[in-house]
Copies of this chain bind each other. A is one copy, B any other.
């Protein structure tokens, strides 16, 4: 049961595709208190949702603000990351979902101010509200996902393993990476290109100094079964003679300041203009630019800096320099002035006032950016997705984004942003998965090994042992950090084993992903979704169901020799030493300590369920699922529904693609 309410005259977001009729009168579950919506939480209530955010699967005990933010420090006190995912699901005394549809800022105070109080407030005051009733969390999620439309599905090869770095600086460095993987027998499907493949960071250019033979490189890699996936940034360099800039200026496609002049911001290329992604025409124009790369054989992209990230605005930088001059003149800088000075410089980036200083043309209206801030990355990716469908009508393309809003899930996936090589981020990676699934984002994963800071061998191994279960499986690291390609450490055999295991899991992972995407269900579920009557299961924050057959419980603590796992029912533990099963054991309901070595991965198979395994190849295409090995906790007759398709067609449905395999 879905109910829709409207407050004020909100801007359309296109998040919802199937709108139920508007209702008036009382809102179920929630009460309006002034400008806030309120719900009294009972002690056992869990609040799920909010997609990409810090903290638990259960979001209770913090304030979350939907406000797409470029912040690479994902520490516990943060209120916002890159996405704005305004869906929550209350499960306990009552069960219901709430979606707040508005392109501006929304605050969810989930038991922060008072542990027993959920309060939602919308800065704009204008929004559509969806309240979804249902018997179970799964049902509520499916209802909601039905509203917002089918999740993005990438080509099958995008379920392979990818390697990224900011940056592989030359074509030869890319060749080195491919060689490193191939020589060490470690599968690889993608090498990602970060900003340095471009000529001075200009979108839709190639640095011919360092990538002189880009087109050949693309083909050479393809011949090795590896696709190159370039990055596209949200800002366009303001440089005379640069065609994208000149065209955008001519057509008036960039965001403007109050006086109607192009708003200039500093991003990677230096001074930039922001394409007005929300303007349909401008978006179409920007999307069509991807052809520059698809013409060169590129089949996938990642969209970055599209919160949009603003290192500085031209105007603010000028003001700050002037203010600094004042400070400089002061004979004696007192300590408050010193901190004001430091704070002012640190605060140059992503300044709230800058987001209030430029305008979009959105559906015919001039709209100040802050009112639609959370749509920028969404519409950039939507423009790209729609263009890629025009450019490649018969074959799916890979596309994912950093910033997002619900609705964007139809056009692309997301990665979980610029995380760090922290052990705690393995667990955060795990927790975000189901939260994102609820909000429609299925093709997702974290930068394995961590983007910022230095990784260690054991950290990357443990992270991979989780990453083999995330649809997007990418290793990525930042400039200046330790190299963390899977062949960069000593125990190459361990890396080979875990990554090959990913490829063995493909029939299962792809089937479960496709069933979730096509059936509006969850790919990764909190235990509370499955065992809602089990209070211990409901509060487990470090295990997940992946698809219907298996539960995972990764190790995320440095130097641990294993971990405690909670089994809400009897299950079969299956331990892999690399790609091969090394131990199977039936474990009773309850807590168990399970030893897990650095080269190992463990799954827990539910009774009556099967886990089909392929023979790993050097990439997805090379992986043979003609003859599947069936790991299982079943009896003859038990079955599994395997989804199979060509892996690239845009026409996808469950009908005709699901085949029952039996024990």
Contact = CB atoms under 8 A, between A and B. Distances in A.
A422 B73 CA distance: 13
Contacts of A61: 456, 458-459, 558-559
Interface in A592-646: 592-593
A346 interface: yes
A289 interface: no
A46 B268 CA distance: 44
Interface in A556-589: 557-562, 564, 566
Contacts of A114: 490
A591 interface: yes
Interface string A113-142: 011000000000000000000000000000
Nearest to A327: B321
A312 B421 CA distance: 30
Contacts of A327: 321
- Copies per complex of this chain: 2
B456 A112 contact: yes
Given A338-B266, A456-B61, A421 B333 contact: no
Contacts of A536: 561-562, 593
Contacts of A458: 61, 115
A72 to B, nearest CB: 12
Contacts of A564: 564, 566, 591
Interface stretch (A4-12, A52-60, A243-251, A440-448): A52-60
A423 interface: yes
A76 B345 CA distance: 26
Contacts of A317: 333, 338
Interface residues of A, number: 71
Contact of A75 (B75, B271, B456, B559): B75
Interface string A318-342: 0001001101100011110011011
A371 interface: no
B321 A338 contact: no
B457 A115 contact: yes
Contacts of A224: none
Contacts of A535: 561
A422 B422 CA distance: 15
A77 interface: yes
Contacts of A271: 332
A-B pairs, 4 with minimum CB distance: A77-B453, A564-B564, A345-B345, A321-B328
19 contacts: A46-B559, A55-B558, A61-B456, A76-B420, A111-B456, A112-B456, A114-B490, A115-B490, A267-B335, A270-B332, A270-B333, A311-B335, A311-B339, A324-B328, A345-B345, A346-B346, A535-B561, A541-B560, A564-B564
